[in-house]
Amino acid sequence: MIKRMIKKALLASGLIIFTIAVVAVAGIFILNAMVTQPEQRDISREDRPTHNLDLDFDVLRPEDREPGVLHSIDPPQEFGMWERREHFYTFMIIGTDERRIADVIIIASYNVATHEANLVFIPRDMKVRPDLAERGDNVFRINGAYPSGRRFGGGDEGGITQMLREVETIIGFEPDYYVTIGLVAFMRIIDALGGVDIHVPFRMVYSDPAQHLFINLHPGTQRLDGNNTLGFVRYRQGMPGDPNATRQISDVQRNEHQRMVIEAVAQRARTIGLSQITTIIGNMLSNVRTNMELNDIIWFATEYLNNSSRITIRSESLPYTVESRPIWYAIPHAEPVLEVLNRTVNPFMRDLTPDDLQLVTQE
Q: Flag the least confident range among 209-213, 243-247, 260-264, 326-330.
A: 243-247
Q: What are the C-alpha distances in Å from 103 to residues 159, 286, 310, 326, 338?
A: 14, 21, 31, 22, 23
For residue 107, what pLDDT is reported?
Answer: 96
* More confident site: 284 or 88: 88
> Which helix (H) or strand (E) element contains residue 359?
none
Q: Flag the least confident range among 66-80, 109-123, 169-183, 214-228.
A: 66-80
**Mean model confidence pLDDT for the chain:** 75
> Which helix (H) or strand (E) element contains residue 231?
helix 226-234
- CATH classification of 85-187+292-356 is 3.30.420.590, yes or no? yes
Average pLDDT (308-323) is 88
Find residue 141's DSSP bridge partners.
127
What tens digit of pLDDT does each residue of 191-222 get?
A: 988 999 999 998 999 888 877 788 999 999 99
For residue 287, what pLDDT is reported?
Answer: 75
- Taking the whole predicted model, whether its pTM rises above 0.85 is answered as no
DSSP 175-202: -SEEEEE-HHHHHHHHHHTT-EEEEE-S
pLDDT at residue 108 greater than cutoff 50: yes
pLDDT at residue 42 greater than cutoff 70: no
- In the 8-state DSSP scheme, what is residue 308? T
Q: Are 327 and 355 in contact (CB under 8 A)?
A: no
Domain locations along the chain: 85-187+292-356, 195-254
